[in-house]
Amino acid sequence: MPESQPRVAGVRLASTDAAIRYRERDDLVLLALPEGATTAAVFTRNAFCAAPVVTARAHLGHTPPLYLLINAGNANAGTGRRGMADAEVCCASLAEAAGCAPEQVLPFSTGVIGEYLPVERIAVALPALVADLTECGWEAAARAIMTTDTRPKLAMRQADLGGRLATVVGMAKGSGMIRPDMATMLAFVATDATVPADVLDDMLRRAVAESFNSISVDGDTSTNDACLLSATGSLPGDAVSAGSAAAAALYAAIAEVCAELASAIVADGEGATKLVTIEVTEAETDAEARLVADTIAHSPLVKTALFASDPNWGRILAAVGRAGVEALDIGRVRIWLDDCPIVSDGGRDPDYTESAGQAVMGRDAFRIRVSLGRGEGAVRVLTCDLSYDYVRINAEYRS
């Protein structure tokens, strides 16, 4: 988390306790954008996408948003027509309180699936939220959107746009049901630069591919995943144009913010004790490399070995072998734990020792490296271990 108070000129936030599910903590956030801001978004591809996802996607296609309304504790997913109506009612209630059109509001929800949203509690809280908006509200908002998260996730970077210093701030929530198929549970990133919508959309999609779409806690894609990137245009100067040095600098800052938030989500995975980077190289294609990396990242046997700090490397070898790589030559496959070689020439590497493997697996963070010996495809995926606490947290989630 940044040491200084994060803020983006033009972005204002407020948080409050609406008693949606939790007690004695904030669970409702309002984020306000200025007129003229541009916004890009990516959403879950889960067929049972939540009502707020459907509504936000539709509103975003109609007009640029002025407000994001985010609640924790209730996903408003699997709620049918009533859920859709509830999402629209929330947007209409905020529009009345803020003096905008309902289509200028994007709703977001996270929490328990299959329960109806307490619309009345949310509506009552909105006037005070509008009145409390401040540019210094990022930290409180990052806490308010948490569910099973143990800590808020907030990141900040700056980019030199040819003598103009642009700021990028992002917050995210996510700890379980994490295997995004577009972004993460919820993530909101903003910059004060002026960025055309098409350039912003390209930046978001590239950053998401390298960060939120390359993490896994438990292999489950949520019904509510969403990631937004907004540019307020509050920084004086020209707009960032595609292919420019300014665009490259700004994208680097956005990518770093997304990468930090994605890493924080995995490190805070439900019950997680280890942060593990899976690097697959020398695949025929990047897609093939991703297939292998995901198979390792999603394997319960691999993940429980990670939790036990047990260098049971046969589980990693087996995951590579069952990943579905066509005509895989196992004699060319090499596997390492950090720099400790464990597999080569179709079996155990002659230089491998159990003590060396144990030393790596005992660390809080390390890499599993796999070289397929087939081409130039490569990918990097972050994952974590599977502990007793993951089962406990999810078994008790609705209690």
Bridge partners of 157, per DSSP, are 168
Asked whether residue 295 carries a pLDDT value surpassing 60, the answer given is yes
The whole-number pLDDT of residue 390 equals 86
The whole-number pLDDT of residue 176 equals 78
The whole-number pLDDT of residue 183 equals 56
Asked whether residue 2 carries a pLDDT value surpassing 50, the answer given is no
**Torsion region of 209: left, alpha or beta (phi above 0 gives left; psi -120 to 50 gives alpha):** alpha
Length of the chain: 399
State the average pLDDT for the chain: 94
Tokens of 144: 């308010």
Distance of alpha carbon 280 from alpha carbon 297, whole angstroms = 11
For residue range 341-394, list pLDDT tens digits in order. Answer: 999 999 999 999 999 999 999 999 999 999 999 999 999 999 999 999 888 888
Between 90 and 267, where is the model more confident? Answer: 90
The whole-number pLDDT of residue 378 equals 98
% of the chain at pLDDT higher than 90: 86
Please provide the CATH number assigned to the domain covering 12-267.
3.60.70.12
Reported pTM: 0.90
Between 213 and 248, where is the model more confident? Answer: 248
- Tell me phi and psi for residue 168, to 5 degrees: -130, 125
The mean pLDDT of 17-31, rounded to a whole number, is 94
- Tell me phi and psi for residue 48, to 5 degrees: -90, 45
- Tell me phi and psi for residue 108, to 5 degrees: -140, 140
Q: Which of 1-5, 40-44, 134-138 has the lowest mean pLDDT?
A: 1-5
- H or E segment at 233? none
Q: Where in the chain is the domain with CATH 3.60.70.12?
A: 12-267
Confidence of residue 148 (pLDDT cuts 50, 70, 90): confident
Confidence of residue 216 (pLDDT cuts 50, 70, 90): confident
Beta-strand pair 226-231/186-191:
parallel
The mean pLDDT of 16-45, rounded to a whole number, is 95
Q: Where in the chain is the domain with CATH 3.10.20.340?
A: 275-395
% of the chain at pLDDT higher than 70: 97
The whole-number pLDDT of residue 1 equals 42
DSSP one-letter code for 134? B
For residue range 221-232, list pLDDT tens digits in order. Answer: 788 889 999 999
Distance of alpha carbon 247 from alpha carbon 266, whole angstroms = 28
Confidence of residue 399 (pLDDT cuts 50, 70, 90): low
Confidence of residue 19 (pLDDT cuts 50, 70, 90): very high
Q: Which residues are catalytic?
A: 184
Superfamily per CATH, domain 275-395:
ArgJ beta chain, C-terminal domain (3.10.20.340)
Q: How many CB atoms lie within 10 A of CB 389?
A: 14
For residue range 153-184, list pLDDT tens digits in order. Answer: 999 999 999 999 999 999 999 887 767 675 55
Task: Give the 3-state secondary structure percentages of the chain, helix then strand then coil, rounded to 5.
Answer: 35, 25, 40
Q: Residue 376 in contact with residue 335, Cβ under 8 Å? A: no
The whole-number pLDDT of residue 37 equals 98
